[in-house]
């Protein structure tokens, strides 16, 4: 069994995946746009991503740009958790994810190690853990 996140964006999927790819040293794969699809989306939305995957060592996310008539609501029912073993690397990841976003819990020492929770500039919630 494999469980994995599928992220929805409001037209910024490529931008977000590029950001995450640089941060996590991963590549955007299997990109499909709305270009040749028989889906009713505006002409200016045709080059947006209908599906893409971000793959790298320890990361595999799927994502897409939701059609303009699909309402997206930023919620708090899911967070992506990142586990690291190096405190400096974990703090860098947290700082990059929280930059231009919202910090819910500062990256600081907890009972189990270091932890921080934030929502990034794309509305995605993250938990960064370091058991170091």
Predicted confidence at residue 54, as pLDDT, reads: 97
85: left (phi over 0), alpha (psi -120 to 50) or beta: alpha
Q: Tell me which residue of 59, 74, 70 sits closest to 4, measured CA to CA.
A: 59
The long-range contacts involving 103-110, CB below 8 angstroms and separated by at least 24 positions, are none
Predicted confidence at residue 86, as pLDDT, reads: 96
Statement: residue 87 has pLDDT above 90 = yes
Whole-number Å distance between alpha carbons of 31 and 48: 10
The answer to whether residue 71 is domain-embedded is no
Statement: residue 69 has pLDDT above 90 = no
Statement: residue 90 has pLDDT above 80 = yes
Predicted confidence at residue 71, as pLDDT, reads: 86
Predicted confidence at residue 40, as pLDDT, reads: 82
Q: Are residues 41 and 84 in the same domain?
A: no
Q: Are residues 58 and 23 in the same domain?
A: yes
Predicted confidence at residue 126, as pLDDT, reads: 96
Supply the range of the domain harboring residue 16. 6-65
Q: Are residues 39 and 88 in the same domain?
A: no
The answer to whether residue 14 is domain-embedded is yes
List Cβ neighbours of 3 (8 Å cut-off, separation of 6 or more): none
The answer to whether residue 70 is domain-embedded is no
Statement: residue 96 has pLDDT above 70 = yes
What percentage of the chain exceeds 90 in pLDDT?
Answer: 77
Q: Of the candidates 65, 96, 115, which is a domain's last residue?
A: 65
Which ranges of 25-113 would DSSP assign to H, the alpha helix? 87-98
Q: What are the strands, taking DSSP E only, across 41-112?
A: 49-56, 59-65, 80-84, 102-110
Predicted confidence at residue 97, as pLDDT, reads: 97
Q: Are residues 57 and 85 in the same domain?
A: no
Q: Are residues 60 and 84 in the same domain?
A: no
Residues making up the chain, counted from first to last: 132
- For the chain, what is the domain count? 2
Statement: residue 93 has pLDDT above 70 = yes
Statement: residue 32 has pLDDT above 90 = yes
The answer to whether residue 75 is domain-embedded is no
Q: Of the candidates 41, 65, 89, which is a domain's last residue?
A: 65
Whole-number Å distance between alpha carbons of 126 and 59: 14
CATH assignment at residue 15 = 3.10.180.10
Predicted confidence at residue 1, as pLDDT, reads: 67
List Cβ neighbours of 97 (8 Å cut-off, separation of 6 or more): 23, 118, 120, 126, 128
The answer to whether residue 74 is domain-embedded is no
Whole-number Å distance between alpha carbons of 36 and 38: 7
Statement: residue 77 has pLDDT above 80 = no
Q: Are residues 24 and 51 in the same domain?
A: yes
């Amino acid at each position: 069994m494999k469980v994995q996140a599928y992220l929805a964006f409001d037209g910024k999927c490529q931008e977000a995946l590029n950001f995450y790819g640089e941060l996590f040293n991963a590549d955007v794969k299997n990109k499909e746009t709305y270009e040749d699809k028989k889906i009713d989306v505006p002409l200016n939305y045709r080059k947006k991503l209908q599906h893409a995957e971000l793959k790298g060592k320890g990361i595999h996310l799927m994502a897409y740009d939701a059609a303009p008539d699909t309402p997206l609501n930023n919620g708090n029912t899911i967070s992506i958790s990142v586990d690291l073993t190096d405190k400096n690397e974990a703090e860098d990841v947290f700082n990059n994810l929280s930059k231009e976003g919202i910090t819910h819990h500062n990256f600081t020492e907890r009972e189990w190690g270091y932890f921080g929770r934030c929502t990034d500039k794309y509305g995605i919630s993250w938990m960064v853990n370091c058991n170091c």
